Structure 1
Amino acid sequence: MTQLLEILPKELKFIVEVKKQSSCSIQLTNNTYHNVAFKVKTTSPKKYSVRPNVGIVDPKSTFEFIVTMQAQKVAPDMVCRDKFLIQSTTVPVGTTEKDITPSMFAKDNGKHVEEVKMRVALISPPESPVLSPINGVLKQGPFFEPSVLKDPVENRVEILAPPQTELKLASDIEEVKSKLHVLESKLNEAEATISKLTEEKRRGNQEHKILREQLDVLRSRTSVKRVHTGFPLLFVAMTALISIMVGYLLHL
């Protein structure tokens, strides 16, 4: 299916100067032979204004709207997280801007609604003190406040990192991988050492048990031997005593 609207440029670029507004022109080209209604939404409605934020693009024609970034009191972060969404759908002939309602862009009953997300890029001002809007002089027209994106998860801003940041990030990832490999190797060595020490302890306990059993056997044998060797001595002593008593009685 042919894309309803061709949108140029592909991203919104704003020159950033403290306490000065900056504007960007967006051109919509209708690729079809039908009237196409569009609506512009943003994640930061208080920061931007759109002139107009809804409209009708005639068949095989172009339409231009202006996005203005409000003056900033302090220098913002140059990595901008803001985002725009352009919704479009075909409408009957004779439809005007006043006829455009939010329900026109509801995806129900098989209705075809196109959605194009646009990033915001902030650029530093040129060296020249005289600044002009990026895409020419702003056109005067009715002022409309942009709508707010209702689905923060689906339309969450995507951040584009500069090439230098990507290279540094890739280098940091490789360094972390290398450190993880070293730690994993050391962990494997520690596990092997623990396993070896556990086995040695088990063998030591087993040997200690065997030695105790052998010692108990030796002690038992020594005790029996003492009993056996002591009995003849007692017998001799008793015999001698009896002999002495008999001799004494014979001499009376």
Structure 2
Amino acid sequence: MVGSMFFSHRLKQARGGVTDEARESFSSHFLLPAPENRFSSRLQDCVGMSNGGELLQIDPVELQFPFELKKQISCSMQLTNKSDNYVAFKVKTTNPKKYCVRPNTGIVMPHSSSDVKVTMQAQKEAPPDMQCKDKFLLQSVVASPGAAAKDITPEMFNKESGNYVEDCKLKVVYVPPQLPSPVREGSEEGSSPRASVSENGAVNTSEFNNISRAYNEQQDNSSEVIFMSKYLFASVRINIVTIYGLQPE
């Protein structure tokens, strides 16, 4: 009789919802942390990774250099201020001797944009696996109305002084350069093969063959061929790591 009453009471609670005891037990043993909690530190580390910081929007958020040996290479990013405030910015890098940033500080006026050009000095050797560990940090802060570049001071970006400073980390990515190829019948003049890598890291087979054929016909043994070989090898290696979950040595 007592057992039946207890069962009936539990059944009513179950119909009305999960019991507090069961809910607490389930939460402590089975619930996983919410995705936003697991990745919150990562998101805070780079406010503008989705192209949208509170102060400045950055496009693109990756610095892509069409890498070629013994050549200066440049790329640009656009800073857009959609607010009603004057915004000051400063660009820093982990490898200042390798890059030239112009301008490295400046003011973006309300509802306007500013371009920043990053130039990489000529490199004598291609990096291992065509991976670059260099990083850039773009800091932005609200400036006084009517402020100009000459009014920017280091103290403006000092967080310890209570200033709200927005940080965005930008990584450097090497992409294959535009390669020359002979004009063939039925092909558009001026077109040239270009290696591409899919989202899973796989090199496009047809484009790989076009590049190889073009260079074989030209019998080009220059440093660019060595670079492209390294790039394609690195891409295939990345693809293997992605598919099989292997860690590079």
Class of the TM-score when normalised by the shorter of the 2 chains: 0.5 to 0.7
> CA distance change for structure 1 residues 127 and 2 in 2, over 3 Å: closer, same or farther?
closer
Deviations 1:90-129 (A, max 9, x none): 0111221112111110113432110000000011222227
Q: Displacement, 1:6?
A: 0.3
> Given residue 167 of structure 1, which amino acid in structure 2 is its aligned partner?
I
Among candidates 68, 79, 89, match of residue 28 of structure 1: 79
CA-CA distance at 1:2 after TM superposition = 6.7
Q: 1:124 aligns with which of 176, 193, 200?
A: 176
Contact 2:240 2:246 in 1 (8 A): no
Aligned mates of 1:76, 1:171 — CA distance in 2: 21
Structure 2 Cα separation of the partners of residues 96 and 28 of structure 1: 16
In the TM superposition, 1:143-154 aligns within 5 A as none
TM-score (norm 2): 0.53
Matched, 1:52 2:103: yes
In structure 1, the partner of 2:92 is: 41
Report how far residue 166 of structure 1 moved. Answer: 2.6
Q: 2:243 aligns with which of 144, 151, 167?
A: 167
Q: Render the CA deviation track for 1:70-95: whole Å, top value 9, x for unaligned.
A: 00112233110000000000011122
Aligned equivalents of 1:39, 1:166: Cα separation in 2: 35
**Matched-pair contact (CA < 8 Å) for 2:100–2:119:** yes
Q: Aligned to 2:76, what secondary structure does the other structure show? A: strand
Residues 204-229 of structure 1: CA deviation (Å, up to 9, x unaligned): xxxxxxxxxxxxxxxxxxxxxxxxxx
Post-superposition offset of 1:47 = 0.5
How far off is 1:16 after superposition?
A: 1.1
Aligned residue identity for 1:86: L
1:98 corresponds to which of 133, 150, 154: 150
The answer to whether the 8 A contact 1:35-1:56 is kept is yes
Aligned to 1:180: none
| Correspondence for 1:112 | 164
Q: How does 1:1-252 map to 2 (within 5 A)?
A: 3-77=54-128, 78-128=130-180, 162-168=238-244, 170-171=245-246
Given that 1:28 and 1:64 are in contact with CA atoms closer than 8 Å, whether structure 2 keeps it comes out as yes
CA RMSD of superposed structures (Å): 2.3
4+ residue segments displaced more than 6 Å? none
Deviation at 1:18, TM superposition (A): 1.0
Shift of 1:163: 4.1
- Code of the residue aligned with 1:120 in structure 2: it is V
Structure 2 alignment gaps of length 5 or more: 1-51, 182-189, 191-236
Alpha-carbon distance in 1 for matches of 2:174, 2:53: 32
Provide the rounded CA distance (Å) in 2 between the counterparts of 1:38 and 1:82: 20
Any idea what SS the aligned residue of 2:68 has? coil
Contact 1:82 1:119 in 2 (8 A): yes
- Equivalenced residue count is 142
**Unaligned ranges ≥5, structure 1:** 131-160, 174-252
Pair member with larger Rg: 1
Q: Deviations over 1:12-53 (max 9, x none)?
A: 000111110110111000021000000000000010000110
For 2:238 and 2:79, locate their aligned partners in 1 and report how far apart those are by CA, in whole Å: 28
Deviation at 1:171, TM superposition (A): 4.8
Letter in 1 for 2:143: V
Residues 172 and 27 (structure 1), Cα distance of their counterparts in 2 relative to 1, 3 Å cut = closer
Q: Deviations over 1:160-215 (max 9, x none)?
A: x94432334x2579xxxxxxxxxxxxxxxxxxxxxxxxxxxxxxxxxxxxxxxxxx
Alpha-carbon distance between aligned partners in 2 of 1:43 and 1:95, rounded to the nearest angstrom: 28
